[in-house]
Structure 1
Amino acid sequence: MSTDPADERAANLDFLSFVDYAIDRVDQEVDEIDPVAMRLVLTLHRVTSSLVYDLESSVHRPRGWSWPGFRVLFVLWLTGPLEAKKIAELTGMSRAAVSSLVNTLDRDGLASRRQAEHDRRSVHITLTEPGREAIAEAFGAHNEREQAWANTLSKPERTILIGLLQKLALGASDAGAKRRS
């Protein structure tokens, strides 16, 4: 009984090595793929997922926050009070997700909500003083992890990568990419 070499390779994959495997397998299954584009997107997604997991598990979960919870607190910390729909836009989250998170942040005393004066249907979210203190303290630990990731690259490499990522982000609209609004 012989085993399929693809099955043997699959048994030894890890999160990042899956990229090479996926490109090889898709190339066998689908005509006319662009393996470079596939590698770019898969690698970018997997590195981003690994980075977010590291930040969430080492910095935010120990404080009782999720990654989305941190994002809402971070936006409020920097902008001040905002309508929930603007928080959704700035965090890249849905309004429903922001609403649910604000319930938790309000319950935990980190944020509060009130009806907007100009539109009774709108809600303004405000960071409380305990919330402000918590996010300011947490951001120090968050930035230490950011530095650990960034320091794997030289200063010129970081500058180049930032430029390339900005170019990719700006080019997304030319590519017709969908965005939350």
Structure 2
Amino acid sequence: MTPEPSDSEHLHFWSFIDYAVARVSRELPGIDPLAMRLVFTLHRAANMVVYDLESTVHRPRGWSWPGFRVLFAIWLSAPVEAKKVAELSGMSRAAVSALVSTLERDGLVRKERAAYDGRAVGLSLTDSGQEAITSAFLAHNKREQEWAGALSEDETRTLIELLGKLTTHSVDFDARHRA
């Protein structure tokens, strides 16, 4: 059933969670509304943070969020194979390959064949790439601090522990994720 315009006009990004949980609970009484609210809220909060970081820090530098993730992984683990960057960034090998081509074209990443295996590609940052990622990360971390500023240090540590517990529990039911 499609809601009447008057039903949905009052909804916004956050109020939609309350509306969705209440409506689904009425229509499907066997669901777990608390679990639904947790995942819905977690998804929305994560998307908000990512969108904010991408639009305020990375897009002004000409990067996407995935582009930043690839540069960040290379920065901290270089020299590194492309397949390892895919694992560390939680992205597919194909996505990393496309991004690395763009980052190489932009003079930020260097690709070299690995000496131990001619098929393996080793990645590292150029001097320009090193300067770009360190500058970007300083701005990125400043924005992270602004987000974290809503919580006390103890609350931040508790949230980190709870998120760790949530992700660790995912192995109990064979959750799918990029590895």
**TM-score category (smaller protein):** over 0.9
Q: Tell me the SS of whatever aligns to 2:96.
A: helix
Q: Tell me the SS of whatever aligns to 2:139.
A: helix
Which of 17, 34, 37 matches 2:35?
37
Render the CA deviation track for 1:87-126: whole Å, top value 9, x for unaligned: 0000000000000100110010000112222222221111
Which of 48, 51, 54 matches 1:53?
51
2:71 aligned residue: 73
1:14 aligned residue: 12
Q: Tell me the SS of whatever aligns to 1:122.
A: strand
RMSD: 1.5
Q: How far apart, CA to CA, are the structure 2 residues paired with 1:38 and 1:151?
A: 27
1:123 aligned residue: 121
- State the one-letter code of the partner of 2:96: V
Q: How far apart, CA to CA, are the structure 2 residues paired with 1:95 and 1:15?
A: 33
Change (3 A) 1:35 1:7: farther
2:137 aligned residue: 139
Q: How far apart, CA to CA, are the structure 2 residues paired with 1:49 and 1:86?
A: 25
Q: Tell me the SS of whatever aligns to 1:178.
A: coil
Q: How far apart, CA to CA, are the structure 1 residues paired with 2:18 and 2:137?
A: 35
1:161 aligned residue: 159
- State the one-letter code of the partner of 1:95: R
Identity of aligned residues (%): 58
| Superposition TM-score, scaled by structure 1 size | 0.93
Which of 101, 104, 118 matches 1:103?
101
Render the CA deviation track for 1:14-62: whole Å, top value 9, x for unaligned: 2222111111222233241111111000000000000000000000000
- State the one-letter code of the partner of 1:139: F
For this pair of structures, how many residues does the alignment match?
178
Q: How far apart, CA to CA, are the structure 2 residues paired with 1:9 and 1:114?
A: 58
Larger CA deviation: 145-154 vs 108-117: 108-117
* 1:12 Cα deviation from its structure 2 partner: 2.0
For structure 1, list consecutive stretches of 5 or more residues without a partner in the other structure. none
| Superposition TM-score, scaled by structure 2 size | 0.94
1:93 aligned residue: 91
Q: Tell me the SS of whatever aligns to 2:119.
A: coil
Q: How far apart, CA to CA, are the structure 1 residues paired with 2:114 and 2:29?
A: 54
Larger CA deviation: 114-123 vs 87-96: 114-123
- State the one-letter code of the partner of 2:65: W
For structure 2, list consecutive stretches of 5 or more residues without a partner in the other structure. none
- State the one-letter code of the partner of 1:104: T
Q: How far apart, CA to CA, are the structure 2 residues paired with 1:165 and 1:8?
A: 37
